[in-house]
Chain A
Amino acid sequence: MNRAGFAFGLAFGFLIAAARLNDYNVIHNMLLLREPDVYLLMGSAVMTAMVLLGVLRARSWRTLNGPLDITPARLERKHVAGSVIFGVGWAIAGTCPGPALAMTVGGGLLGLIVVAGLFLGIALRDAIAMRTAAGTARTNVRVAAAASG
């Protein structure tokens, strides 16, 4: 799985850079609705993957990690709430997690600032989620104590 991860990452990084998705102006022009290229790129990628996965599922494909399981996650509030915040950052930086890494090795040193921010943002979200979970647990203990007392 690690070798496959590296190989698929290699292909993905090459393709991102080949299409210049690691260029601020390309993403900015996409989001300004000035050119359809990146939308068409994403759409054709999704369509291709959808067809291939349909074929694999029809053939009861086995992965290195058991039978192919492509059961989607249930829609929750977090998917929308988190994506609003993600979208704001995406619009300002004109890049997202994969292309930001590709930007740095392409020579765009400011991509390192975005990458640093990404790690900080993930750590911040984890810290807040942990605190919320701890708070909920404390409340539950109090409620249980009050109920039994």
Chain B
Amino acid sequence: MPTYLLPDRVPWFVVGPLIGLVVAGVFAVNNRAFGISGGYVQALALWRGRATEPWRVWSLVGLLAGALLASLLRGGPAPNLSYGALGQALPLAGIVPVLLAAGVAMGYGARWAGGCTSGHGLCGSAILSRASFAATGTFMATAIAVTLALHALTGGGL
């Protein structure tokens, strides 16, 4: 194994507080919650010709650049079609429609709920929003229940 500049998985107690700093930073500078699904909404609006909050599109560009930087510090991205345990449980022809449907569900749900794991889970919770606590509790509980159900239904395969 070659030694890379960035560890394979930086521990939670390093990353968590730094993400908290980012969340507070966006509130401190832009006076807004840093929701990533909001960035998708603005990117879609830009494509249709009118983004009301262009900084959110820039945040997505930054996100891509930051993740690419992390990848480069680990030897560079290696394009692949793997998808963890789900990729081992399903053939490629099966995983594509499943991932598309899961993406549609997330986009639909986040748009309806007004936020996702970042907007409600991190930002909204940090400002003690009851709406965000309810949203976070709901999507966490739902995701855990669905994951445990899939685990049972696939005989531990997933």
Contact = CB atoms under 8 A, between A and B. Distances in A.
Interface of A: 1-20, 22-26, 28, 31-33, 37-38, 40-50, 52-53, 56, 61, 63-66, 68-70, 72-76, 78-94, 96-98, 100-102, 104-110, 113-126
A51 to B, nearest CB: 8
A126 B123 CA distance: 23
Contacts of B27: 49, 53, 56, 63, 68, 70
Contacts of B18: 11, 15
Contacts of A84: 109, 138-139, 142
B113 A89 contact: no
A19 B64 CA distance: 15
B105 A44 contact: no
B60 A1 contact: no
Interface residues of B, number: 116
A102 B60 CA distance: 10
B67 A94 contact: no
Nearest to B158: A28
A7 to B, nearest CB: 6
A110 B106 contact: no
A18 B70 CA distance: 6
A80 B39 CA distance: 21
B104 A88 contact: no
Nearest to A120: B104
Contact of B34 (A12, A69, A114, A125): A12
A126 B37 CA distance: 13
A93 B99 CA distance: 6
Residue among A3, A5, A69 with the highest chain B CB neighbour number at 10 A: A5
